[in-house]
Structure formats: C-alpha cells, structure tokens
Chains A and B, each alone.
Chain A
Amino acid sequence: MNNRQSWNLILIFLILLMAGMLLGNLVFLAMSLVPFFVFLGGRVIDPPRYTKVETNEIPRRVWLGQDIEITREVTVESGIGTVNLFQEIPPEFSLVEGNNIKTHWKKWGRETVVLSCRVRCHKRGAYTIPRLKWVIHHPLGMIASQGTAGDSYELTVLPQLMSPRQIKSLPSLAVAPFPMSDVARMGIASTDFREIRKYTIGDPVKNINWKATMRQVISPATVPMVNEYEREGRKAVLIFLDASPAMLLGSPVENLLEYAIEATGNLLYYFIDRGYRVGLAVSGTPNLFFYPDSGQRQITKIIPELVHINVKKQPTRFQDTIDTFKSHILNYAPLSIVVSSLDAGNGEILTPAFRQLRSYYQRRRRLPVMLINITARDVIPLNLRYHSQLSKLMELQTNPAETLLHATGIKVVKWNPRQETFRAVLARQVKKR
C-alpha cells in the first residue's frame, strides 16, 4: 500500500470526523465521509499484478550498424491500473523503430502487454541489454509496485566489415605497394593444414575431406568440403593500429579510434580472404599483438579483441609497437600498414616511428609501408564559433607531416569516413598498371 496516499485520506477523514463530533457539525461529518468512501473504493480495486515476461531471440553477436529486434511480452494478471514498461538500452544504441517505453491501461482480466522496438548500435564493444523494468500504478495512486523481469542479454558488437569479394583484381603488377594481386597466392601448396572450406571448381579431388563432407550433408545440394593447405612463399601483411589517446578525437560514439578499428578489421578481412598471412599490433594496449597467420582462425582470433580495445591512460610508444615485429620485418619484408591520423596531432609521434620502420627494410625501390590517414576534420563536433575555418586549419597543420612522409617513400592513403566508405578507399588502391 502506498501509505502516503491512503493515510492522507484517512487523516482527512479522522480530522473532519473529530471536528464534526466536537462541534456537533453535520457539515464536517458529511465532508469526512467523502475521503472515507474514496479510500474504501480504492481498496476494493486491485492493482494489476505482473506474472511473467517472454522475450524473443536476441542475437549474441551483431555487426556494427546492424538492427536488433527486442520484443518483450509481459503477462499481467487481474486488477486495473497503469502498467509502465521500460527497456533500457545502452547509450551507444539508437531507436530505429518502435519505442522502448510502453505505457498501458490494464482493464479487468488477464492481459498481455507487448513492448517491441528495433535498435541499432553505433559503436563496437560488449554491451548488456538489461532486464525489463516495470512499474504498476493503482488508479488512485494508492499502490505502486516496481521491479525488473525477464533476462538480460550480453551482446557483442563487432566492427563493420565489408565483403572483400566486391573488390576484385587480376594478378598483375600493382601500382601501389598493395599486394592484392600478389602472385604468391598461386604458390605451391605445402603440407601445412590451413583450414577446411567449401569445394570450388578446380580443386583437386584428393583434397576433398570426406568425413567433413559427410558431417555437412543435409541436402543433396550440399557442396563437398576440401582441405586447404598453406601455400609456400606467401606475403605477409602487418597492421599497426594506433590506439593512443589522440585517437579519441570526436564524440564518444564517433571518433577516430572507431574508424581506425573499422579500417583495421576491413584490411584484415581483405588480406585474409586473399590468402595472406596477416599480423596485428595495437599501440596503446601493451601486449596486444598477433603474429602473422592466415585463414579464418586469424579473423576469429583478432576480431573479438578489436571489440574490446580501449584507450589506456599511459599508452605504449609507437616505436615499441613496431619493435614487436622487428625480426619479422627484417626477415620477410612484409607490407606494413599503419592505421592512424595525422589530424590527431600525433605527427610528431608517427614521424620517428616511420623512420624506425623504414630502417628495418633494406634499400628497396618502393618501400612497402603505408599509412591509412583518417581525416578527423568532419568527425569533430562543430560547435565552435570559428568552426568553418577548422577544416583549413587542420589541413595546414597536417600538410608538412604528410609531405615529409611522402618524401621518405611512405604511401599515405587518406580516408575521410564522412565522405566515403573504406571499401571505396580500398578499391582505389587496387588499380593496376
């Protein structure tokens, strides 16, 4: 019982009753009866009673930008009153359709109240969709009960990855040091097992894995599974992801780090799909690196780690991150891709890092080092008085560093996430001579 509402009525009743009896005043006695009967009327009406919640199937892993449908069906027994339902969603999510708040007038008898909404996540990470909150009100406000119901769901939002198949190329000599058409792909298969994949025309029959094929058989149209073996002489790609505090430029949801992770995920996916051995090192997060490897297992190993990357207060030096793969660079001279932004004001950090990276490569006609330079000027919230000049100022600030990098033979690839997708940037790099 909500004591305040009920006791107010009783108090008024008693005061007026006493006054009426003391003064022998019929008016006070009559007045005292009204709150008394309202109180009795309120007590006769039962408030609704919550019973159970049923929730639809919510996926545990979704891609960035993917919609999630949340439907909660709440069964409410007997009574009349207001039923308020609230499904809390993390701040990084936005409502696309429906509403996460439902208010419903419950009539007599059993009723099912449905709260349905479609949400979209704008930032990769691990999230919790909490339990449903419910509040039930008596029509006269005498009783109010609240609680939580249903299950909470752990959700992992993975960085958005494009389909690498959409960027096609033929084996030839590349204009950029971008080994998308590297003939090493065509190398002789070794005896090192890589992975099991679906059969494609041209695969030798001896490679068919009959046991795996039988396990997959669910219809006559099932494709046989074949063993894929590591190929000799494949090139390796090293990706260095800058996760320094400077990369937090932008809003908490949309910042350089988010775009850098998106670019990293796409590069990884792109090269792995083409059979390369890809390694990753994250500056800003000590000991977070992956030695070059190929196959889907490398993606399944790295992508979940990308989800949890956060900027640390005391980041590691970029040079230290590069040193992680020093011996690998010296031995194999792989393509090194640094994903960062000159706009973030870390040109002073990147220049010595590139100098160091360059020193590890032997003298080559074309240095296989690339910088994915994410343009920050459109990502920064423009609430400053002179914001119209911001773009020019940032360009003037970054131009010297960019020119210097060009001069040292490093290819700088600009990506403005507000103007084009990373897929478009990647497609531009696979031009042939």
Chain B
Amino acid sequence: MKNMNKPVAIIQTVLILIISAVVSYSLWGNALAFVPFAGISGLGIWLVVFKNWGPEWFTVLTGFVAMPAILKHNTVDILYQIMKDWTIGQEISSTEAVGLGLIVMVGYLALKYLNMSQKQYVAMLANKADKHEANQVLFENQSIIVLILIAGTVLTMAIILSTNVFNSPVTNLLTHFTGNALVLGLAAVVIIGVYLFWLGRIGKEEK
C-alpha cells in the first residue's frame, strides 16, 4: 500500500505472527502446528498489512483454530454429542485458555485500531498533509489506544482472577435462594437492556 506507515506495518506483522503462533499451538502441540501457523500468518499479513482490509477475516480464522481448545472448557455440556469424538485441540489449563482468548481478543482490537490509524495516515498523506504532523498524530493516537487496551486487559484479568477468590462464598450464598437463576438472569437482562437504551439515546442526541 502506497504511503503506509512502516512502524505500524511492522507492529501489525508482529501481532499477527504472535496470534497465529499461539492459536496454532493451541491446536497441535507438535511440529504440525507450523502448518496452520504458516497459513494463518501468511493470509493475515497479506490481508491486514498489504491489502489493509481490516483484521476481521484473520480473527475469524484464528477464532476457528483456537475454538477446539477453548470449547474444551465448557461447563455446560450442550455440545457434548458433537465434541465427544474430537481429537483436535490441545488440553490446556483454564488459565492458559483464558490467556489464549485474551490474546485473540486484544490482538483483534489492536489490529483493528492499527488498521484504522493506518487508513487515516494514508488518507492524510494522500491529501498532502505534512508527514511530520501525520506521524505525530499517529503516534499520539496509538499511545491512547495502547493505554485503553492495556487498561481493558488488566481489568478483565482482575475480574477473572477475583472470581477464583469470590466464587465459593457467592455460590454458597446464592444457592440459598429459590429461583436464583431466573431472578439473576432477568436482572442481568434488564440492566443490559437499560444500558443499551441509554447508549442509543446518547447516540441520537450526539447525532
């Protein structure tokens, strides 16, 4: 792509390689993992870095590859009939599985925002904006994105880790109430519904 920012392209490539390596390893823990790694990373670099199409297709692909390992941590056996004969997907620990999921998700968001920044940068240079100014804007914007992504990941990890600590006392407490699943489920749906309604309203006002 003409006028692309090389440091951003390098970061995108490194991220794609890391994500591809992790999901491929989760599929097979031997030399065979190199096959999906080469395929996913090659396709990802071509689509995201060279074609600048966005990381959606790459993420869908990595999601499929990581899915067998993640689905093995289901606690509700809805997919038991389908999954009982599966031989693919490594048996990884719960913490490793969460780490795998976070790498895929944070990687996707990072690639998405890098892609957005890259597109803005190319557009700025195409419109004859000053290269120094464009570089500065890109750098500052990425700093904010990295900060938000780190904050989001840290908060998520904090919540996941805290579930291990509070899991038993809260579960014991809730089992004393009859119809707890219904009450809690409805409450959660109502809260999410109200929140979405509020977001929609703000969106309309800002428009």
Contact = CB atoms under 8 A, between A and B. Distances in A.
Interface string A39-77: 001100100000000000000000000000000000000
A24 interface: yes
A1 B134 CA distance: 24
A30 interface: yes
B130 interface: yes
Quick one: which of A28, A38, A102 has the most chain B CB within 10 A? A38
Contact of B202 (A1, A29, A103): A1
B30 interface: no
B186 interface: no
Interface string A1-33: 101001000100010100000111111111101
A143 interface: yes
A24 B76 contact: yes
B71 interface: yes
A38 to B, nearest CB: 5
A35 B101 CA distance: 12
Contacts of A24: 74-76
Contact of A139 (B141, B160, B199): B141
Nearest to B140: A105
Contacts of B206: 1, 143
Interface string B117-143: 000100010011110011011001100
B203 A27 contact: no
Interface stretch (A78-86, A226-234, A294-302, A425-433): A78-86
A34 B128 contact: no
B98 interface: yes
B18 interface: no
Contact of A26 (B79, B137, B160): B160
Interface in B43-101: 70-71, 73-76, 78-79, 94, 97-98, 100-101
B105 A31 contact: yes
Interface string A85-106: 0100000000000010111110
B76 A26 contact: no
A84 to B, nearest CB: 7
Given A1-B202, A82-B120, A105-B140, A30 B98 contact: yes
A33 B102 CA distance: 9
Contact of A3 (B137, B163, B203): B203
Contacts of A129: none
Contacts of A45: 144
A97 B169 CA distance: 70
Contact of A34 (B71, B109, B207): B109
B106 to A, nearest CB: 6
Contacts of B128: 99, 101
User: Majority SS of interface residues in chain B?
Assistant: helix
A177 interface: no
B113 interface: yes
A28 B101 contact: yes
B120 to A, nearest CB: 7
B127 A82 contact: no
A45 B116 CA distance: 18
Contacts of A37: 151-152, 155-156
Interface residues of A, number: 40
Given A41-B152, A139-B144, A26 B130 contact: no
B111 to A, nearest CB: 13
Contacts of A10: 196, 199
Among A3, A22, A103, A137, max chain B CB count under 10 A is at A103
A176 B144 CA distance: 76
A99 B134 CA distance: 13
A140 interface: yes
A128 B171 CA distance: 72
A174 to B, nearest CB: 52
A103 B101 contact: no
Contacts of B155: 33, 37
B106 A34 contact: yes
A35 B207 contact: no
Contacts of B149: 34, 38
B22 interface: no
A141 interface: yes
A31 B109 contact: no
B5 interface: no
Nearest to B136: A105
Nearest to B112: A8
Contacts of A30: 98, 101-102, 156-157, 159-160
Given A31-B102, A140-B144, 16 more contacts: A3-B203, A23-B78, A25-B73, A28-B70, A30-B98, A33-B152, A33-B155, A34-B106, A34-B152, A38-B109, A41-B151, A84-B129, A101-B127, A107-B140, A139-B141, A139-B148
25 contacts: A1-B203, A1-B206, A23-B71, A23-B74, A23-B78, A24-B74, A25-B75, A26-B75, A26-B160, A30-B98, A33-B155, A33-B156, A34-B156, A37-B156, A38-B148, A41-B148, A82-B120, A101-B129, A104-B133, A104-B137, A105-B141, A139-B144, A139-B145, A139-B148, A140-B144
Across the A-B interface, give the 8 residue pairs with the lowest CB-CB distance, nearest first.
A24-B75, A37-B152, A24-B76, A1-B203, A105-B140, A27-B101, A33-B156, A41-B148
